[in-house]
Amino acid sequence: MKKNPWFRFLILQCCAVTVSVSQLKVSAVMEQVAQGFSISMGAAAGLMSFFTVAGIVLAIPGAALMERMGAKRLLLLLMACLFAGNAVGAVAGAYPLLMAGRLLEGVAYAMIIMVGIDLINTWFPHGGAGTATGIFNTFAAVGNFITLNGALMVVKRWNVRTLWWIGAALAAVDLILVLAFIPASNEPNGHAGASIWRLPRGSKTPLLAVGVLTLEEKPIPDRSRNRENDGNTAASSTGAMVREAFRDKRLMSLGAAQMLMAFILFGFITCYPLLFTGYYHLAPEKANFYSSLNGLFGIPACIVCGILAEKTGNPCRAAMVGAVGTVIAGLTMLILTPGTYVVHVLASAVFPGGLVMTSIFCMVPAIAKRKESVGYYMAVVNLLYYTGVFFATPVMVKLMEVSWPAAAGTVAVMAAASLVFLFHSKVQPAK
């Protein structure tokens, strides 16, 4: 099974879905979280935004970290941080400790996309990467569907802290699966048998606190004589690739479009429960059901988009169609009828997350000037992506307090701006 790339991909997908469930558990039961932890609604909304702080801070360093550690080691670290963050949140007695736990959870969120895209392109070098990327991008939709349908039931059956304990348990299972079934054949410098618990280049610094389980199959060659020079070379190479990424106008246009779409997508995720209860006056259970359809519809949309990107070699067209559809979805938020709730949620799932964001994930590796730059290109896009997610919840909540038309208009304007950036990217069909 270790040799089957799709089996490895299944484990990767489980890790990503766990990250998404951890992230979105607050949005599904925000009022209950505020009551359970004795905090204000504003403070509860801050738990959603603070989750992404690590993504903003670690996006660029994460690329260098992955280059140095290897994707598998980094994935293990991410799952360990996710476990620790959920465990801290579950026992938190004060708001600062709860925020600290969310920050630890956010470390996993900060780099899961970058690690995932890197592993996919490693596992599927001769075809299938587009399809796998499309499926991988469903992790947010799957997490959204699970939390919106399951979080409220868990809170009613037990309590709000149980959500954090469930997140910790899922992260622990993912950690074991990665350790057992994902090989280290893609580790840096060709050291396939190097210890997963140690930093490369002969470092004796444990990667994780559980590093007592040293599993060194093959020792890493001693590079002590050239360590200083290697470090200087690596630093120089890292700086050059970061500068190269930021100077690439096509990449920055794609990153800007991704930032706007991330804001819109998570704005919809935040808005929908409040839209259906506060504006359309639906019962909370029914509101959560309609809101969860965003995730359900987003799953096939992401998969289909990934397949089309691979078959046509021109994902930019799908992205532009998605941007136009998102403009329409924003403009029609406040003129829905009971018969069009489902249609609108379908549109909000298919257009921003399914078509635009999946297409951008497919385009970024294609425009990188060399294979070594892909991680840094993804890091820049992720930085802008996390920035959009960070501002989505507090800004949309504030706009809804001002007026619902202000919230809907903001979505439409941002979608129109993303269309402009996509045109400016000038990404051509793959050769």
pLDDT digits (tens, 9 = 90+) for 300-310: 887 888 787 77
Sign of the dihedral through C-alpha 388, 385, 152, 29: negative
Sign of the dihedral through C-alpha 386, 391, 392, 393: positive
pLDDT digits (tens, 9 = 90+) for 240-261: 888 888 888 899 999 999 999 9
The pLDDT assigned to 200 comes to 37
Provide CB contacts within 8 A for 23, sequence distance 6+: 48, 51, 105, 109, 143
Please, what is the end-to-end C-alpha distance for the chain in angstroms? 33
Q: Tell me the C-alpha to C-alpha distance, in Å, between residue 81 and each of 89, 169, 174.
A: 12, 13, 12
H/E element, 84? helix 71-91
User: Which structural domains are found in the chain, ordered by start?
Assistant: 5-186+223-425 (1.20.1250.20)
The pLDDT assigned to 236 comes to 53
Greater confidence (271 vs 351) lies with 351
pLDDT band at 429 (very low <50, low <70, confident <90, very high): very low
pLDDT at 346 over 50: yes
pLDDT digits (tens, 9 = 90+) for 139-170: 887 887 888 778 888 888 898 889 999 999 99
What is the gyration radius of the CA atoms in the chain, in angstroms? Answer: 21
Q: From CA 23, how far away is CA 306, in angstroms rounded?
A: 24
Contact 83, 403 (CB under 8 A): no
pLDDT digits (tens, 9 = 90+) for 201-220: 333 333 333 332 333 333 33
pLDDT > 90 fraction of the chain, expressed in percent and rounded: 22
Greater confidence (223 vs 371) lies with 371
pLDDT at 49 over 90: no
The listed range with the strongest mean pLDDT (96-105, 148-157, 359-368) is 96-105
- Crossing angle, helix 95-123 and helix 5-28, to 10 degrees? 150
For 206, the 3-state DSSP assignment is: strand
Contact 130, 10 (CB under 8 A): no
Q: How much is the mean pLDDT over the chain?
A: 79
